[in-house]
A and B are shown apart, each in its own frame.
Chain A
Amino acid sequence: MRTITLTDAIREAIEEEMRVDPSVFVVGQDVRGAIFPHTKGLVDEFGTDRIVDTPIAESGMYGVAFGAAQEGMRPICDFMFGGFSYVTFSECSVTTGQYHFLHGSQHALPLVITAGVGTGQRLANDHAMSIHGTFAHHPGIKVAMPSTPYDAKGMFKAAIRDNNPVVIPWHMGIMMLKGEVPDLGDDYIVPLGVADVKRVGSDVTVLANSLQLQHALGVAEKLAPEISVEVIDPRSFVPFDMETLLVSLEKTNRLVIVDEDWESGGFAATISARVVEQAFDLLDAPILRVTLPNMPVPGGYMEEYVAPNPERIEAAIRAVCA
């Protein structure tokens, strides 16, 4: 095992997959020069034919990925910031999600959409919004987000090898988070659709991902003397591992969902509804959600108390356990 950062883990996944599969390439804007560290140095090994910079033309840029995927290549389309994918969102969501199904499930569309997302940089809405919930709303697209370097490397590899469109943003708030990953040469994947119990507990289940998972783990540690918190990282939103969540609820009977997305129509709402539909009898308390309030994400110093944070997570845990 070695200790590396989340973005280094993503870069290792990309470069290892590119070495074994010549159809994998990266297309984005300034990915050669590496606006973010996960594409740093890739151009030196793979050249400009496979680390491809486009003009500031998101539709055309995504078109390179979409069309090349139809041609059987395995593109990774890097939008820099997640919000930028909305510049060409109709293609990313509608055209992409429907392509396989609407045409009789005869032709796969293997591509990866990635971007930095999330709060923590005080950049405000268009540079800070999450995209996982919105993409998860559109059928035909897999959606996942890693929370640790180990998961990042394994999930990016799984996404690149998947025969479907996979949206896999990474959270800017944990880009320099360090963690253990297997030695170079030890190939592994983390399959999409498998949640991970990051901390075992018995009083309450907290579902949290990415930066919010780090917050949840911190709160769980702090509360350990009084409340035993089980923390589950969904890792994938589509497909979602309901089984792992229900097994946990059989034990804890209480659920807090932390989601760095808006309250209204967000992913936390979907999971909350599913739990009520499928496992109402398991619940001893109402499900509480810790989400972004329904306002555009403000930048500046107010971001830290508007966005989900350890204080709000702790309050929710105490409320469901009261």
Chain B
Amino acid sequence: MALNIDQKKLLMTNLIRADEFNRMMYRRMMQGKLIGFYHPAEGAIAPGVAASSFLNKDDNLSPHHRGHGITHMLSKGIDIKYYLAEHTGKVTGCCAGRSAFHFSFPEHKVYMMSGFIGYNFAPAVGWGFAAKQRALGQVVMNCSGDGSYGQGRSHEALLMAQNWKLPIIFFCENNGMSIFSTAMEMHPKPNISSLADGYGMPSAIVDGQNVFEVAEVCIEAIERARTGGGPTFIEAKTLRFNEHDIGTPDLSGWEERSAEEHAEMRDREPVAIATVIALDEGWLTAADIEAMREAALREIEGVEAFADDSEIARPSVESLMQGVFAE
């Protein structure tokens, strides 16, 4: 399905925002201005932008953990300032400062970041079940990496989603790495999407460095899910430019990733690829792209100011106890 100019511009805008937000998070982690850890998204931002930019507010989204879901959430229209405030332990955080790196935006149907890899799959079946049951046309965008398909839960979800023809997109952002281990050695076949064949689920493999190519396939899958056509498996082949999380070594197996591998990866930088396409096709000028980057930086200034100006959350144990159960 060919994208129109507005769709392409939206993708370009969100891609640049994702890129700048990732830089901000990386910088803050290095400055000691984030609680916990940060799993940098550089090189891997195009799939999340493509998967999340065309969802409705009431569609379910489970972001990939890389970039801590910011790529996906900002593309779905979530204001990241509440997440940065959370990640800095502030009262204004999306989870009242209780959750460190976790997020929750129930009003946007982004319920949680699972602290355990692959724990999004089973709830995604529940979201899809509820969507189908109530026939409100919602879809579920269930994003995860190649590593999470080691979890039996992913297989249970594929099984049940296909049995019941649930409106779920299994969106695999395959960057070929889970921490140090490679997908090549942890999976028996080169394409994770071949799992879908076993369940009779339609699947597609796309170049995850090309945001437009990914979006075309996503829009088609979203439309199929929304109109009762059931689940789709999309595998976006992407890359992880940095180490798994800031501070761990950048290994493949137990050896440093090579300079050649890095050089090869850098040639596949998603913003650069999108920029060439936009300029070639002529629907953006260099000045337009620069303006997008300026706008993203201004947005981030506001986001950081909000988080930094907020109070640290230090509620009493007694008041916390009041929040263990719902009324």
B160 at the interface (CB under 8 A from A): yes
Kindly state the interface size class of chain A when it binds its partner. Answer: 35 or more
With A68-B129, A95-B114, A164-B326 given, is the CB distance from A63 to B95 under 8 Å?
A: no
- With a cutoff of 8 Å between Cβ atoms, the chain B residues found around residue A54 in the complex are 160
B68 at the interface (CB under 8 A from A): no
A232 at the interface (CB under 8 A from B): no
- Asked whether A142 lies within 8 Å of B95 as measured between CB atoms, the reply is no
- A142: nearest chain-B partner, CB-CB: B325
- Asked whether A106 lies within 8 Å of B106 as measured between CB atoms, the reply is yes
A105 at the interface (CB under 8 A from B): yes
- Asked whether A60 lies within 8 Å of B160 as measured between CB atoms, the reply is yes
- Asked whether A101 lies within 8 Å of B323 as measured between CB atoms, the reply is yes
Of B31-39, B116-124, B253-261, B290-298, which stretch is located at the interface? B116-124
How does the 8 Å CB contact mask read for A93-123 relative to B, with 1 for contact and 0 for none?
0110001111111111110000000000000
With A54-B160, A101-B98, A102-B102 given, is the CB distance from A67 to B123 under 8 Å?
A: yes
B308 at the interface (CB under 8 A from A): no
Q: Complex Cα distance A282/B152, Å?
A: 52
Q: Within the complex, which residue of A71, A103, A108 is in contact with B126, where a contact is CB–CB below 8 Å?
A: A71
B24 at the interface (CB under 8 A from A): no
Kindly state the interface size class of chain B when it binds its partner. Answer: 35 or more
Q: Complex Cα distance A101/B94, Å?
A: 12
Q: Within the complex, which residue of B102, B114, B160 is in contact with A57, where a contact is CB–CB below 8 Å?
A: B160
- With a cutoff of 8 Å between Cβ atoms, the chain A residues found around residue B322 in the complex are 105
With A90-B116, A103-B102 given, is the CB distance from A63 to B163 under 8 Å?
A: no
With A95-B119, A102-B98 given, is the CB distance from A69 to B126 under 8 Å?
A: yes
- With a cutoff of 8 Å between Cβ atoms, the chain A residues found around residue B133 in the complex are 25, 49, 68, 73
CB distance from A62 to the nearest CB of B (A): 6
- Asked whether B122 lies within 8 Å of A63 as measured between CB atoms, the reply is yes
A244 at the interface (CB under 8 A from B): no
How does the 8 Å CB contact mask read for A20-38 relative to B, with 1 for contact and 0 for none?
0000010000000000000
A77-96 interface (Cβ within 8 A of B)? 88, 90-91, 94-95
- Asked whether A102 lies within 8 Å of B95 as measured between CB atoms, the reply is yes
Name which of A67, A69, A99, A108 has the most chain B CB atoms within 10 A of its CB: A67
B130 at the interface (CB under 8 A from A): yes
With A67-B123, A70-B106, A100-B326 given, is the CB distance from A57 to B99 under 8 Å?
A: no
B96 at the interface (CB under 8 A from A): yes
Question: Besides A63-B125, A64-B160, 18 other CB < 8 A contacts?
Answer: A52-B129, A59-B121, A59-B153, A60-B153, A63-B123, A66-B123, A67-B129, A69-B126, A71-B126, A73-B130, A94-B116, A99-B112, A103-B94, A104-B96, A104-B98, A106-B104, A107-B104, A142-B325
30 A-B pairs (CB sep. < 8 Å): A52-B129, A54-B160, A55-B163, A57-B160, A66-B122, A66-B123, A67-B122, A67-B126, A67-B128, A68-B130, A70-B106, A70-B111, A71-B130, A71-B131, A72-B130, A75-B126, A88-B122, A91-B122, A95-B114, A100-B326, A101-B323, A102-B95, A102-B99, A102-B102, A103-B104, A104-B99, A105-B96, A139-B324, A163-B327, A164-B326
